[in-house]
Amino acid sequence: MTGTDAFTALVRARTSVRGFTDQPVPDDLLRALLVNARLAPSGANLQPGSFVQVRGAVREGLSQAMSAAYRAGSAEAEDYSYFPDPMPGHLRRRQVAAARALYDSIGIARDDRAGRDQQFERNFRFFDAPVALVVTIERGLGSGSFMDLGMALYGLLLAAQSRGLASCAIGALASYPHLVRSHLGLGADSHIVCGVAIGFADANAVVNQTRTSRIDVDSFFKVVG
């Protein structure tokens, strides 16, 4: 396989995995993935953002607290605006299609609110992956730094895929920044961006059959001149 074909295969194989085995990820392997992720470009080489691994009783306490807040309908002010409000129609259709792909794959009907809530709560458990990361960014950085951190995040996901691991970025953690900071002992200058689950995919987990579509290149690319 040529280098070009190998890269294409890698990016096409990577998908958001929500079912993991309990096989541990060696610490040195995780550190190697993070080293690769940090090779992403960034403006003025600022290399913004941090990755915090959450383990043991701290992880369990955080997961329980977020789940309890979600069940209670408690809301927190997020550190940054994740989605547009209101959501434009063409983006709303993509959002709905992605949700349908997930819930249809695991047999949860559209009107099964309890089932959907139960599945959504798994975000707060990092989908029981062996590695749970919380991604933060320093308060006061410009919007461009989120772009730079996003490139590092994608580098991390691809690095994991290249080593036979699976992953899932978890935006739901951004909904409870105060809870996250409290349980991790972080200061107010650490803005909570997302979580990341990393581990070995469970080949028998039906949820891992979820696939979302991508828009056609002609809808986001044009040539001028």
Question: Does some domain include residue 222?
Answer: no
pLDDT tens-digit map of 148-205: 999 999 999 999 999 999 999 999 999 999 999 999 999 999 999 999 999 999 999 9
Q: What is the CA radius of gyration of the chain?
A: 18
Q: How many CB atoms lie within 10 A of CB 32?
A: 13
Question: What's the pLDDT score for residue 53?
Answer: 98
Q: How far is CA 85 from CA 88, 193, 194, in A?
A: 8, 18, 19
Question: Does some domain include residue 117?
Answer: no
Taking alpha carbons only, the member of 187, 188, 193, 189 closest to residue 148 is 193
Question: Does some domain include residue 136?
Answer: yes
Question: What's the pLDDT score for residue 162?
Answer: 98
Please count the CA atoms within 13 angstroms of the CA of 26 that sit on its side-chain side.
5
Distance CA 169, CA 195 (A): 6
Q: Which residues contact 120 (CB under 8 A, 6 or more apart)?
A: 70, 172
pLDDT of residue 1 exceeding 70, the answer is no
pLDDT tens-digit map of 114-160: 999 999 999 999 999 999 999 999 999 999 999 999 999 999 999 99
Range of the domain at 52: 15-82+124-210
Question: Does some domain include residue 116?
Answer: no
Residue ranges with strand state E in 20-144 = 50-53, 131-138
Question: Does some domain include residue 104?
Answer: no
pLDDT tens-digit map of 22-78: 999 999 999 999 999 999 999 999 999 999 999 999 999 999 999 999 999 999 999
Q: What interhelical angle do 113-121 and 89-105 show, nearest 10? A: 90
Question: What's the pLDDT score for residue 188?
Answer: 96
Q: Residue 181 in contact with residue 187, Cβ under 8 Å?
A: yes
Give the DSSP H or E segment for 93: helix 89-105
What global pTM score does this model have? 0.95
Question: Does some domain include residue 113?
Answer: no
Distance CA 171, CA 18 (A): 13
Question: Does some domain include residue 202?
Answer: yes
Question: Does some domain include residue 8?
Answer: no
Q: CATH number, domain at 69? A: 3.40.109.10
Question: What's the pLDDT score for residue 96?
Answer: 95
Number of folded domains that form the chain: 1
